[in-house]
Structure formats: C-alpha cells, structure tokens
Structure 1
C-alpha cells in the first residue's frame, strides 16, 4: 500500500553516482529569473498538508525557489488524506508521478517529504541546507534546446536515451501560499507552500528530431513549465518556464 512502509522522519539519502543523461539544461529565452543559456535545475518536492514532517521541507523549498537557475515545484500527494485532512492541492496524478520515481531512485515506495532533483537524485529535504546540497551535487549534462515563445513549445534536435522522451506540461502558481489546516497531524498550523503545481499533463513524445508544439493557454494566474523527461520516472533532459 502506498506509503505504508514509510517513516516520515527517516533520513533518506541516495548514494552512488548520478545516472547518465541525468539532469536538466535549458536554452530558453523565456526563463523566469534565469539568464538565457544557464542550466535550469528542476527541484520537485512531494509533500502533504497531512504530514507533520513536511513543513520544514516546505520552508526549505521556499528558500531556493527564487534562485535564478532553479525551477522549484510543490507536488501535493494524496496518500495521507486518510489521517483526517484532505490536502487542498493534492491530486492523484501527482501521487502517481512520485510512485514512478521510486524504482529508479532505489526506493520501495513513496514517502513524504521527498525532494527529487532533475529526476535522478533524491533526499528528504527537511534538514537545513539539504536541498541546496542536492542541487549543488547534481550533474547537468547538455540536453535539447527548449523554449516557450509565441504560443509554441520548440524542442531542438539531439540524442534521446531509449529513443523517446515524454513532454510534460506543468501549470503552477508562482510564489508562496499559506494554508490553514483544521484537522489531522497539522491541526491549527498554517503551512506555507512554494510554487504549487495545479495540473500535470503529457503533451506527447520527443524522439530526437526538432519539433514545435502548440502551447495551450494557461488559466489566469498560473505559470507554465515544460519538462522533457525519460519515461517512467527517468531523468529530466530539459526544462523551461515562462
């Protein structure tokens, strides 16, 4: 059962060298806060308002969200909802995204909090400086060029591991949102969340040839990120945000 073997306070680290093709690089002209041509590190926090161990990791994500070379995203999962509080941002597709990561990260199942960087390295993320350390140790090999301009997603030609990568569309709300929690493990607390993801959808596949796709319009107030990623929880090869 999802999360049944997890100890939310355990110290989880990943040993060993990062996998080949295991990072994010962006050549986007539309990067939010990042200079064009600078690598963009994707930091995903899997968190829950029903998890008493998550607030420190939420706070640590807030500390890195404005770094010019970082795309920080909060994915709220659903498997702690049974503890008495239904996460206001939780979605099953976010839970499934985390589940897909676990085999390649050497995990037997998902836990919270969990920080995944560039799709290839993870940590709990709750200790001071833990996310920063994970970012600094992440390799960033060159991926395809990727830009979001003129209502289009442009992906350049390049080598693709396994012959195919997924193209993911992420809609998120930039900034910090405070959520008061009335029940469950965090009863009475107001929890801050950074760059909360509202939707995640697969747009198609990239097979190594240069392609352009239409970029669907975002709902009011939401920002857009696009990830090019090896399937089934593999490394992120490229990312861009508007």
Structure 2
C-alpha cells in the first residue's frame, strides 16, 4: 500500500490497494470509505522549483632535513600548507543516491523505513530519509518533517511521470522511482539506476571542490546534513499511534550552495553540525538527474 497525495487515485502494481488523500476529502479505496471536508495544509508558493578535482593523494613517509634553520622552514611551511589544502574525501563514481520520502503519519511507511536501514550500510549507496509534512493533519506532526523536503519530492514528480507525491517513495539518482516497501524492488531500483557521470567532487578545507566536466548545462549544488545513526521515535497519535518507528540517515538540513556551470569551482561549507554527516549533490535543476554525489 502507498499513500498518495494528488488529484487522482494512483494504483500501482503489485500493490493491491491504495490509500488516496485528496484536497476535497479522504478516500480509502480498500474500504470504500470517504470523508469530505479534509483541508490540506498549503504547499510552498512555487511547487515547481526546489527550495573539481580528480582524486589526489599524498604520502609523506618521512622528511629528513639536513639543513635546519631558515632554509628548512622555507621548504617545510609551504609544503605543509599545500598538504593541508588537499581534498580530504573524493567522490565515488559508483555511488547510488537513494532518497526515501516518508512520514511518521503514514501507516504504509514502516516497511520502507526498514528497507532504507538495510541498504544504508552498503558502500555503494548514499541513503537519505526526507520526512514530508502533508500527512501532519492526520493527527501526528512528523518530528523530522520540513516543507523544503516536501517541495523536493513534489518537484520530482513531473519528470518521474507521477501524478502527485505519495509515501513511501524512493528515488534513485534523481531519475527512477519505486514505492520502496519491497526489498527486492529496492535492490532492483539501485541496480537499474543510471550511473553518476558528472564532475569530480572533493571535500577540501571547509569547502566542496567541483571539477570541470564536458557535461553541458547548469546544475544545482545541494548541501545535505543527515544523521547516520538509527533513530527511534515514539508516535502517540495518528495512523502509527502507539508504535515506535525506526529511521536512519534522517535529513536535518537541505541548502542550495549555488550553481555549477561546467567549470571548476568551489563553494564554502557551513560549520559542521555535531553528530551529522555532510553530503553534497550536483543535480540538474527542477528535480533532474543527479550527476555527482559525495559524503564524508
């Protein structure tokens, strides 16, 4: 089962029943029950807009200075400054970015949350959990939900040929989607995802460095801060009332750093946040394909 928020009821095989929430009311297709008068919270004003260097290494086994004093200092200080400025982490081109759009108020989401936990330890996957807000009216306000996460999902749907947002939904590399309740379906989504072919990325000293690339066209550069640990959240009300839900890689912050135009560029990063990891995505505008990704 998936929860659909749109003007139309979406039935997706092999799902036998769907629950559709409409602006005009609430319709449970599996029980033929409709309650009119439900009012959805307003979305952001514009739903169609979302709120490089090669790998390098340096090995310094030992440094023997025969001449101490000014000559040695003159040689050593610039060298150490250069080493400190080298990228600390370089992007993995084989990475697949899997975004889960979920809600604590969605009774269909716990299996997808569990599947994200299972794939989050894969070295070839960057798993990100975005909590949406459009089910908050059902009795429980998602403690991780943010409107910018909802808008990110809404922006994806036209290119993914979806009639509207729903939960749970997984998106791989910004280009393919699945419900996410079935682990084999999730694994197929990862296997079939278009590979990342964008510019090289590397974390420098408080900056993200993006290399030049022959890829034509501009791309947005997104900063993502997420919690890599498993969180347990007691839910008191709503469809999951009385249960404790588990999530991992919960996104806490999503910011646009700027635009990559194909040339080498770098952007400053905000100060680290305690307990959170940092990821950077280079992505075509308006919910387009992810070209490059990196996480620390």
State the TM-score, normalizing by the size of structure 2.
0.71
Q: Distance in 2 between matches of 1:8 and 1:59?
A: 23
**1:22-60 CA-partner distances (Å, limit 9, x unpaired):** xxxx968526xxxx6451110000000000000000000
Which runs of no fewer than 5 residues in structure 1 stay unpaired? 14-25
Corresponding residue of 1:241: 295
Q: 1:46 aligns with which of 94, 101, 108?
A: 101
Listed one character per residue, the Cα deviations across residues 150-193 of structure 1 (whole Å, up to 9, x for unaligned) are 211010001334x2100000011112101111000001111110
Distance 2:8 2:139 in 1: 18
Secondary structure at the counterpart of residue 130 of structure 1 = helix
Partner of 1:98: 153
Change (3 A) 1:127 1:8: farther
Pair member with larger Rg:
2
Q: Which residue of 2 aligns with 1:73?
A: 128
Seen in structure 2, the aligned counterparts of structure 1 residues 189 and 5 have a Cα distance that, compared at 3 Å, is: farther
Cα distance in 2 for residues equivalent to 1:108 and 1:40: 28
> Could you tell me which residue of structure 2 aligns to residue 30 of structure 1?
89
| Partner residue, 1:216 | 270
Match of 2:163 among 99, 103, 108: 108
Counterpart contact for 1:81–1:87, Cα < 8 Å:
yes
- Following superposition of structure 1 onto structure 2, how do residues 76-87 of structure 1 map, counting pairs within 5 Å? 76-87=131-142
Mark the CA change 1:180 to 1:154 in structure 2 (over 3 Å): closer, same or farther: same
Cα distance in 1 for partners of 2:180, 2:198 equals: 26
In 1, Cα distance between the equivalents of 2:255 and 2:206? 17
Secondary structure of the structure 1 residue equivalent to 2:272: coil
Post-superposition shift, 1:127?
1.2
CA distance in 2, matches of 1:205, 1:167: 6
Q: Is the 8 A contact 1:46 1:115 kept in 2?
A: yes
Deviations 1:7-26 (A, max 9, x none): 6884489xxxxxxxxxxxx9
1:17 aligns to what? none
CA distance in 1 between partners of 2:254 and 2:222 (Å) = 7
Calculate the TM-score normalised by the size of structure 1: 0.87
Q: Tell me which of 283, 286, 290 is aligned to 1:232.
A: 286
Q: Is the 8 A contact 1:171 1:197 kept in 2?
A: yes
Measure how far apart 1:77 and its partner are.
0.1
- The 3-state SS of whatever aligns with 1:61 is helix
**Which one of 199, 203, 207 corresponds to residue 152 of structure 1?**
207
- 3-state DSSP class of the match of 2:233? strand
Tell me the matched-pair count: 224
Once superposed, what is the RMSD of the aligned Cα atoms? Answer: 2.1
Higher RCO structure (Cα 8 Å, ≥6 apart): 1
Q: Note the 1:78-227 alignment, pairs <5 A.
A: 78-161=133-216, 163-227=217-281
